[in-house]
Chains A and B, each alone.
Chain A
Amino acid sequence: MTAPPLLRVEHLTIRFGGLTAIDDASFEARRGEITALIGPNGAGKTTLFNCITGFYKPDIGRIVLMQGEPNTADIDRLTRSVRRHGIFASGCICLLERMSDAEIARRARVARTFQNIRLFSGMTALENLIVARHNPLMAASGYTILGLLGIGAYRSAEKEAIETAKYWLAQIGLTERADDAAGSLSYGAQRQLEIARAMMTEPVLLCLDEPAAGLNSAESSKLNELLRDIRKTHGTSILLIEHDMSVVMSISNHVIVLDYGRKIADGTPSAIRCNENVIAAYLGVEDDELRLAETKVGA
């Protein structure tokens, strides 16, 4: 039995000048699964993430995030209207291509990390996590006014946020470094902290852009554990860009392959492993990388 879809990308196209970075890509990511997005450098993976999270506006296409199991008629009805999101009897629908980046994070509950880490490096690890709770904390502080006067539920809300932050710091093994500046942490720790910060927003979909890049093998296996745990304990679905095939094969339920902006394959890890389009895409690269790619794909 397959899980219902959470994210549906349809006919997505985006151009930068003459370059078509994503060309008519369609796929689905299912609820509670880890969906991996792979492809050679410059294939358009990060661009696709930027479209899903609202940092880029696609030229063509629809990106639907679904809660519950909304039917197609409702989605089409919402699409014909000018609205960005809607609640129907069958479920809640967000049309991400119409929403702004912050709105996607806030309302559609899509969180992300960045290929080049974007932490608040002059703030401590704890502060990084607390800032991620900005919206609920802001409301609890009566939009600052009640908080300034020291009345209202801010204190307890902050305490709760600190407890959650402690939980995530423990999950990524950084409890001891909570009061250190994020910028002073090791590269691997920064990657994990960025994931924890994204999780502090309690997302339904977590988009990770090359989370294992630059990690050593010990850190990499710790990351796998973390991702499995996020999926199992928190029920957060994960969309993952990854280069390391062993990681992709071991933790993902579903793999999508992009090449030159086009989707060239879509299936289970084992099906992707022997897909000839995929092998050809990886064969198209330089000789040095070829051997690397062969070992990676396991061909």
Chain B
Amino acid sequence: MRTEGFLSKVKSAGLAALIMAALSFPIVAYHADMDLTRGLFLESRWPLVAILVGGTFILRLLSEFVFAWMRGRPAAATRKTKQGISPRAFHLIGFAGIGALIAFPLAAVFMLGPAGSLKWIDNYGIQILIYVMLGWGLNIVVGLAGLLDLGYVAFYAVGAYAYALLATDLGWSFWLCLPICGAIAALFGLALGFPVLRLRGDYLAIVTLAFGEITRIVAVNWTALTNGDAGISLLPKITFFGIPFSKGAEGFASHFRLPFFPIERTIFLYYLILALALLTNFLTLRLRRLPLGRVWEALREDEIACRSLGIDTVAAKLSAFAIGALIAGIAGAFFAVRQGFVSPSSFGFIESATILSIVVLGGAGSQAGNVLAAILIIGGSEFLRELDVLQEFFGYTFDPTQYRMLLVGLAMVAMMNWRPRGLVATRRPSIFLKKAKPVAVELIAEGRG
């Protein structure tokens, strides 16, 4: 028995190595380069091929053992997913998390000083919170309504450009622009919703993907409005409800008799995005308890059954697209005011893919899972930026951030094996008679549009 299992593992590892050999032969084995006389020559890289094939063999063999070990203890795993955490513990964790988020920038400033904490508040705090908010927005479309949207970044872009144009051309204030940007993005959500109403699954995914790309390409080419690739810069900076964060007597610091630090603006931006994200969360939780949110989930479970109950599925789908887009639009306006600059390069497909990965990795439909996934993916890729030490090993042409998507990919592969439906996969009922029992993931439909 044992040797048989071992043999099959070796066989599977050998197969993986064979595939790697077949793949690396045309791609890696020969490398065409130019010599000093500008003539082409072929450089063979057989040692690299050998390393790749050998590495694949060893990794595959190791993973086979790990999976076999994991399969050996299913009892513990199922018990954990069935039980879940109690609603009270869930609330406690939620409130503790919010408390930690509120305390985070102040703690960072105290520990690292105004200059040292900038990176933590801006690159980690604000960046992660933007993606938490975007993940929560997309969660309404993908997680609740079950509509696969690969072009979500379009609405983020619409919000950002709407703010850029309203603020520079019309000189409107950020606080006025914020709801307007959300509303404009929601209109775009409806505009996307109408043509895709009849599409399901793969087709829906392709059309939404195209919609995202079209939005970006319009931003590149409509130079009269968007200034093309160069983007729109010098956007007005965020103010404390009208009081600028500047050094002078008119500034925020002197107004509140505080010492002036440039980081005050960043801290304000942090609390702003925190408030916007929490508002999104509150909205979603509230909607889930209203007929609209319930019908989104019913739509994901079975659209035909919805129609047999007299439910207007068109309105349900459009409202999911519109509210998801509204949230992205507001996040986009925030992104624009934080950067002070918008350009099409911020709104590529990779952004949509990142947001979708957060939703999927977090567990579609789960608010808490989204936060964990955003911290993992966005925090992880920020963290990779810091690993300059790796250049000591791989040479100075090695850029760790280039491996960001590799990290995301690895996280996804690991998750597919470990928890195919995301970090937090159980569903909380929106209403109950006696006790809210979490619904096991196997019973929840993923939705096919």
Contact = CB atoms under 8 A, between A and B. Distances in A.
Interface in B89-144: none
A135 B440 contact: no
B292 A118 contact: no
B291 A126 contact: no
Contacts of A124: 429, 431-432, 437, 439
B435 interface: yes
A133 B312 CA distance: 12
B432 A148 contact: no
Interface string B285-309: 0110011101101101110111111
B429 A105 contact: no
A181 interface: yes
Interface in B424-439: 427, 429-437, 439
Contact of B444 (A53, A112, A122, A127): A122
Nearest to A200: B309
A285 B108 CA distance: 80
A175 B432 CA distance: 12
Nearest to B319: A144
Contact of A122 (B310, B319, B427, B433): B427
Contact of A126 (B295, B302, B306, B433): B433
Contacts of A126: 429, 431-433
Tell me which of A154, A181, A197 has the highest count of chain B C-beta atoms within 10 A of its own C-beta.
A181
Interface size class of B (residues with CB under 8 A): 35 or more
B313 interface: yes
A258 B283 CA distance: 52
A118 B431 contact: no
A137 B64 CA distance: 52
B445 interface: yes
A144 B287 contact: yes
A166 interface: yes
B311 A135 contact: yes
Interface in A78-106: 101-106
Tell me which of B283, B291, B294, B295 has the highest count of chain A C-beta atoms within 10 A of its own C-beta.
B291
B1 interface: no
Contact of A105 (B283, B308, B442): B308
Given A106-B310, A121-B445, A130 B287 contact: no
Contacts of B310: 102-107, 134-135, 201
B219 to A, nearest CB: 32
Contacts of B294: 123, 127, 130-131, 134
Contacts of A183: 442-443
Contact of A127 (B313, B319, B431, B443): B431
A150 B3 CA distance: 66
Contacts of B300: 122
Interface string B385-412: 0000000000000000000000000000
A236 to B, nearest CB: 15
Contacts of B283: 148
A121 B308 contact: no
Contact of A118 (B295, B305, B427): B305
B307 A101 contact: yes
Contacts of B431: 124, 126-127, 130, 158, 162
A206 to B, nearest CB: 11
B72 to A, nearest CB: 27
A178 B309 contact: no
B285 to A, nearest CB: 11
Contacts of B319: 144
A127 B430 contact: yes
Contact of A144 (B291, B304, B305, B430): B291
Given A122-B439, A184-B443, A102 B313 contact: yes
A144 B286 CA distance: 10
A119 interface: yes
Given A179-B434, A181-B439, A123 B309 contact: no
A118 B301 CA distance: 9
A148 B287 CA distance: 7
A144 B308 contact: no
A102 B305 CA distance: 10
A272 interface: no
Contacts of B305: 114, 118-120
B432 to A, nearest CB: 5
Interface in A169-221: 175, 178-184, 197-198, 201
A111 interface: yes
A132 B309 contact: yes
B309 A131 contact: yes
Tell me which of A106, A131, A132 has the highest count of chain B C-beta atoms within 10 A of its own C-beta.
A131
A55 interface: yes
Contacts of A55: 304, 307-308
Interface string A44-60: 00000000010100000
Given A102-B307, A121-B445, A178 B295 contact: no
A138 interface: yes
Nearest to A175: B433
A4 interface: no
Tell me which of B295, B305, B439, B440 has the highest count of chain A C-beta atoms within 10 A of its own C-beta.
B305
Given A122-B445, A178-B433, A105 B298 contact: no
Nearest to B323: A144
Tell me which of B283, B313, B439 has the highest count of chain A C-beta atoms within 10 A of its own C-beta.
B439
Tell me which of B290, B300, B308, B436 has the highest count of chain A C-beta atoms within 10 A of its own C-beta.
B308
B434 A178 contact: yes
A105 B427 contact: no
A13 interface: no
Nearest to A166: B433
Nearest to A144: B292
Contacts of B311: 102, 131, 134-135
20 contacts: A55-B308, A102-B313, A105-B310, A106-B310, A107-B310, A114-B305, A120-B301, A120-B302, A122-B427, A127-B297, A127-B429, A133-B291, A134-B309, A141-B290, A178-B432, A179-B432, A179-B433, A181-B437, A184-B443, A201-B309
Given A103-B310, A148-B286, 17 more contacts: A55-B304, A106-B310, A118-B304, A120-B301, A122-B445, A123-B429, A124-B431, A127-B431, A131-B294, A131-B309, A131-B311, A132-B309, A134-B294, A135-B311, A148-B287, A181-B437, A184-B440
Interface of A: 53, 55, 101-107, 111-112, 114, 118-124, 126-127, 130-135, 137-138, 141, 144, 147-148, 154, 158, 162, 166, 175, 178-184, 197-198, 201
The list of the 10 closest CB pairs from A to B, nearest first, reads A122-B444, A105-B310, A106-B310, A183-B443, A120-B301, A118-B305, A137-B291, A181-B439, A178-B433, A101-B307
Interface of B: 283, 286-287, 290-292, 294-295, 297-298, 300-302, 304-313, 319, 427, 429-437, 439-440, 442-445
